[in-house]
């Protein structure tokens, strides 16, 4: 049943998404792909939309996917799924188990998961870039336009960082890439 | 419990939810400004505790902060109000977007823009990973875990393997608990 799938799928994300929004993206991608809810391309678009609209990125992605799959109730259940684990954990920790996180075994679990998430996020970013530049419908076929846009975006964010001494904001990078897309692929 | 505190919690967090883009750490500054400085609901000390807890627990950081602040002010009902406040604006916005997004993509120049945006998303995720690596402890074990997870995830992606990412995390957790248990037993033996 789609409602139950949405709730359980996003509960899994909510339970394992250490490391903020970017830590959650590979998990959500995994859940979405395994149920066949969105294409890889549509998922990437939604990451950009979630990044450019207010609110927590995880909540935005959950709301969109839930709504796409099963309307308003689907959106509510998916959002609930992603929020509920952290809600419960915080209440339990503040109310009852103030020393729980200091337990060495709990620390060992956290310190095992965190670097693993970083590796997964890195692999997701690298794979997305390679796929954009080198694959077309799953077949090896380098795309000159995408390679050029990728290189240009890296140059822009590098130059910005060097001159302004701070990272270019994600929304600015998205806006610049949108302009490049319109120039490259036409109106 | 102060009168009207539940409405106040809901309204304050709805405001925070409506005005922060990019999620996570961008929100912490705004939460601090609203809840510590303006409202005096929690102290700076509380704020750093909850940030530390948020870093060690799963889920959206903004939700962790909202739940914590709400709970401190008005117990369970407060936690529910603050958390709902945090979610409601983005829920409504995204719900509206989801109703017309497919039609929106049929417009040629929007579709072109998103072909460019697709590239930016890959770069953003890559950059987020690089930032996380820079913040990581410069020790052998976390690096080994990170590299192993990277290689495993690349293989899963390239060969479209049916292997849930969550299993990678579970394996990492179990492996680290085993390593911890063995090393502490060795220390005791000495």
pLDDT in tens, B98-125: 888 878 888 888 888 888 888 888 888 8
Contact B122 A54 (CB under 8 A): no
Given a cut of 70, whether residue B22 has pLDDT beyond it is: no
**Does pLDDT of B48 surpass 80?**
no
Instruction: Please tell me whether residues B31 and B100 are part of one structural domain.
Output: yes
Residues from chain A contacting residue B108 (CB–CB below 8 Å) = 186-187
Return the residue of B nearest to A85 by Cα.
B59
| Cβ-based contacts of B179 with chain A (< 8 Å) | 108
- The answer on B80 and B121 residing in a single domain is no
Q: Is A31 helix (H, G, I), strand (E, B) or coil?
A: helix
Do residues B85 and B157 share a domain?
no
DSSP string, B88-150: HHHHHHHHHHHHHHHHHTTSHHHHHHHHHHHHHHHHHHHHHHHHHHHHS---HHHHHHHHHHH
Size of interface A-B (CB pairs under 8 A): 359
pLDDT tens string A141-152: 888 998 999 999
Option in A56, A93, A124 nearest B62 (CB):
A56
Quick one: closest CA in A to B97, which residue? A64
Nearest to B132 among A105, A121, A124 (CB): A121
Q: Are residues B176 and B188 in the same domain?
A: yes
Look up the domain containing B153 and give its range: 137-190
CB contact under 8 A, B112 and A186: yes
How many CB atoms sit inside 10 A of residue A133's CB? 19
Q: Same domain for B33 and B123?
A: no
Integer Cα distance of A17 and A128 in angstroms: 20
- Single out the residue in B86, B104, B122 at which a domain terminates: B104
pLDDT band at A103 (very low <50, low <70, confident <90, very high): confident
Interchain contact B164–A (C-beta under 8 A): yes
Cβ distance B101 to A49 less than 8 Å, yes or no, reads yes
Is there a contact between A58 and B60 (Cβ–Cβ < 8 Å)?
Answer: yes
Indicate if B24 and B93 belong to the same structural domain. Answer: yes
The backbone torsions φ and ψ at residue B174, rounded to the nearest 5 degrees and listed phi first, read -60, -45
Pairwise CB contact (< 8 Å): B72 & A57: no
Calculate mean pLDDT across residues B7-35: 81
Looking at the fold, whether B90 and B10 belong to one and the same domain comes out as yes
Q: Tell me if B112 and A185 make a contact (CB, 8 A cut-off).
A: yes
Q: Are residues B95 and B120 in the same domain?
A: no
Closest CB to A119 among B119, B141, B147: B147
CB B82 within 8 A of CB B69: yes
Distances (CA, A) of A14 to A8, A104, B104: 10, 23, 30
**What percentage of chain A carries pLDDT values higher than 70?**
99
Number of domains in chain B: 3
Mean pLDDT of chain A: 87
Interface of B with A in 4-63 (CB under 8 A): 17-25, 27, 50, 53, 56-63
Same structural domain, B116 and B84: no
Same domain, B15 and B98: yes
Residues B15 and B100 in one domain: yes
CB-based contact B146 A123, cutoff 8 Å: no
CA gap B166, B174 in Å, rounded: 12
The verdict on a CB contact (< 8 Å) between B112 and A182 is yes
Chain B nearest C-alpha distance from A160 (Å): 14
First to last CA, chain A: 41
Domain shared by B18 and B97, yes or no: yes
Q: Mean pLDDT across the stretch A25-43?
A: 88
Substitution target in B56, B140, B177 with the highest count of A β-carbons within 10 Å is: B56
Q: Which residues from chain A sit within 8 angstroms of residue B112, using beta carbons?
A: 181-182, 184-187
Q: How many Cα atoms are found within 13 Å in the side-chain-facing hemisphere of B70?
A: 30
Is the model's pLDDT at B25 over the cut of 70?
no
pLDDT in tens, A62-100: 999 999 899 999 999 999 999 999 899 888 888 777 677
Report whether A41 contacts B118 (CB < 8 A). yes
């Amino acid at each position: 049943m789609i409602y139950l799938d949405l709730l359980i799928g996003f509960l899994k994300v909510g339970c394992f998404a250490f490391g903020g929004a970017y830590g959650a993206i590979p998990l959500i991608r995994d859940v979405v792909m395994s149920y066949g809810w969105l294409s890889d391309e549509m998922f990437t678009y939604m990451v950009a939309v979630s990044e450019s609209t207010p609110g927590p990125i995880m909540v935005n992605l959950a709301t969109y996917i839930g709504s796409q799959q099963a309307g308003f109730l689907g959106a509510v259940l998916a959002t609930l799924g992603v929020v509920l684990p952290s809600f419960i954990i915080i209440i339990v920790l503040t109310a009852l188990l103030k020393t729980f996180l200091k337990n060495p075994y709990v620390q060992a679990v956290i310190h095992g998961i965190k670097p693993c998430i970083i590796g997964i996020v890195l692999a997701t970013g690298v794979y997305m870039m390679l796929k954009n530049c080198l694959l077309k419908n799953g077949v090896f076929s380098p795309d000159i336009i995408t390679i050029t846009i990728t290189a240009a975006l890296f140059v822009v964010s590098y130059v910005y960082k060097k001159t302004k001494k701070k990272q270019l904001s994600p929304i600015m990078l998205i806006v610049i890439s949108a302009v490049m897309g319109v120039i490259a692929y036409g109106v | 419990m102060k009168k009207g505190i539940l409405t106040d919690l809901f309204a304050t967090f709805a405001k925070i939810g409506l005005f922060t883009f990019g999620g996570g750490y961008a929100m912490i500054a705004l939460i601090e400004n609203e809840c510590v400085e303006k409202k005096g609901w929690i102290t700076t000390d509380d704020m750093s505790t909850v940030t530390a807890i948020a870093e060690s627990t799963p889920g959206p950081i903004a939700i962790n902060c909202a739940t914590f602040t709400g709970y401190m002010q008005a117990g369970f009902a407060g936690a529910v109000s603050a958390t709902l406040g945090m979610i409601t604006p983005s829920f409504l916005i995204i719900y509206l977007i989801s109703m017309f997004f497919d039609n929106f993509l049929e417009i040629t120049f929007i579709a072109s823009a998103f072909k460019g945006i697709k590239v930016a998303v890959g770069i953003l995720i890559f950059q987020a990973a690089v930032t996380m690596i820079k913040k990581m402890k410069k020790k052998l074990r976390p690096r080994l875990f990170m590299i192993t997870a990277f290689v495993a995830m690349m293989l899963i992606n390239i060969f479209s393997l049916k292997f849930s990412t969550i299993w990678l995390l579970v394996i990492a957790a179990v492996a680290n608990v085993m390593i911890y248990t063995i090393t502490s037993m060795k220390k005791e033996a000495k």
